[in-house]
Amino acid sequence: MTVTHWRLCAIAGLMVASAGVHAEVYRPNVQGNGLDSLQETDVQRGMFGAGFANTLTTNNDSQPSMMFSLRHFGGEKWYLLGELQMGLFSTRAVFQDGEEVRSDDEELLRFSFGAGYALLQGTASTSGVRVLPWSLAAEATVGEQYSGDTSGQYGSVGMSVQFHGERVWTSLGVREFLLTDERLAGIDSDAGTQWDISLGLWY
Amino acid sequence: MQFWGRSHHAILITLCLGVLSLSVSAQTYIGLRSGPSSTFPVVYEVTEKRELDVIYRRGSWVKVTDGRSRGWLHVDDLHLLATFPRDEMWKLANDARPGRIKLGLAGYLEGAYSIGLHLPLADHYLQLRAARGPESDSAWSQLDVSLIMPLAQPTESLSVSWLVTAGAGLEQQDNNRWRDLDDNPVWLLGGGVETSWHAERYFEVGARVEASVTAGDDMTLQPLTSVFWRIRL
């Protein structure tokens, strides 16, 4: 083999080698920090519950109802509050000028939303070993109430004591409310007081 | 000699006690609270070398246990635990950051209420809102889109923004909010200004003043004043 042959062989070898190198296409990837692969921690975003409410509207008898509530945490003390209440509104008829303004079988449906703020937070304990956090919160809601065949806007302010168990929570609440229902305003039955007790779970 | 010998021993013992007390005082105790807030009392303390497992997280707080007892610790304090995995700590801190999407609820002085979704758009927000205003036996509804742009930030937690709005309004049951005669949908254009206070990490409250006009010949002007709650999802 001559020198020329050696050169040709060398060039051919280099080409083959370089082809092998170029066959590995460069594919850049965004480097992950590995955090996504870690196991997700369970998150508590709020609490929902169901309970019993007893409503005493002015010029009316106290009426029982069911109440469903949802509290979505907005931080350490604030939370958004949504409520749905269903039950009886009236079991006593009211007549004005011979005309029935409120019948004795009216039902109530209310939904409202608002916010709560934990004014006090503490710990309850009887044995000193197990502890139960509690909070006293101020709550305000606005919404709409359907009473019988009419409806009006609903506004309330109240207080709620909540006990936060490991799996369940419970609350006791009391509130004052106002309605803008013209029919009920005409018979002075557009405001009142309510207490409620709820039991629920975290979500 | 005997006196000096005793003296040396006393000095040595004092030095040893000093070193021991130094090492004892260097021990760090981390307080675990009964609830997820700094206002809840500390109910349990652990040393920095105690191994803790996270049970769950609520906002910026994690509930941890060492197998014997449990309590709440802020994610910013997890670094105090020498044994806690750093990658897990950063993930928890990262997950605890509030998102940019907001859910808003508002109550209006005019007696209406609304629900809105706020989507980030660069430095601005796009708000999708559904409002409803019951009036006696009738009602009106409004669906609109607003572009909310920052105007000023007097303090770290207080911001002022202005907004432009476009949407549609619908009168129901012979409501006369925009038109006296018919209940057909009307197109609305408007604008306003709002101020919001970032009360907490995930939560803000504020007030908005706005006005909208019907896009048409009669151009009815309707002002709206509201108080709102917004939560970062």
Q: Report the DSSP beta bridge partners of residue B139.
A: B134, B172
On average, the pLDDT of chain B sits at 87
Q: Inter-chain contact A35–B40, Cβ cutoff 8 Å?
A: no
Q: What is the pLDDT of residues A13-61, one digit of tens each?
A: 776 666 555 566 777 776 666 666 677 888 999 999 999 999 999 999 9
Please report residues of B whose CB lies closer than 8 A to that of A43: 56-58, 95
- The H or E element that residue B12 is part of is helix B2-25
- Specify the pTM: 0.75
Residues of chain A above pLDDT 90, percent: 58
Please report residues of B whose CB lies closer than 8 A to that of A120: 39
At residue B14, what are phi and psi to the nearest 5 degrees?
A: -60, -45
Q: Inter-chain contact A41–B54, Cβ cutoff 8 Å?
A: yes
Q: What is the pLDDT of residues B103-149, one digit of tens each?
A: 998 989 888 889 999 999 988 999 999 999 877 778 899 999 999 99
Which of A182, A192, A183 has its CA nearest to residue A156? A192
Which of B87, B76, B78, B63 has its CA nearest to residue A36? B87
Let me know how long chain A is. 203
Q: Is A89 helix (H, G, I), strand (E, B) or coil?
A: strand
Residues of chain B above pLDDT 70, percent: 91
Residue B205, chain A, CB below 8 Å: the answer is yes
Work out the average pLDDT over A130-155: 91
Domains in chain A, CATH or no CATH each: 46-202 (2.40.160.20)
Work out the average pLDDT over B31-35: 94
Mutate to test the interface with B, among A77, A131, A146 (most CBs of B within 10 A): A131
Residues of chain A above pLDDT 70, percent: 89
Please report residues of A whose CB lies closer than 8 A to that of B88: 38
Domains in chain B, CATH or no CATH each: 2-95 (2.30.30.40), 102-232 (2.40.160.20)
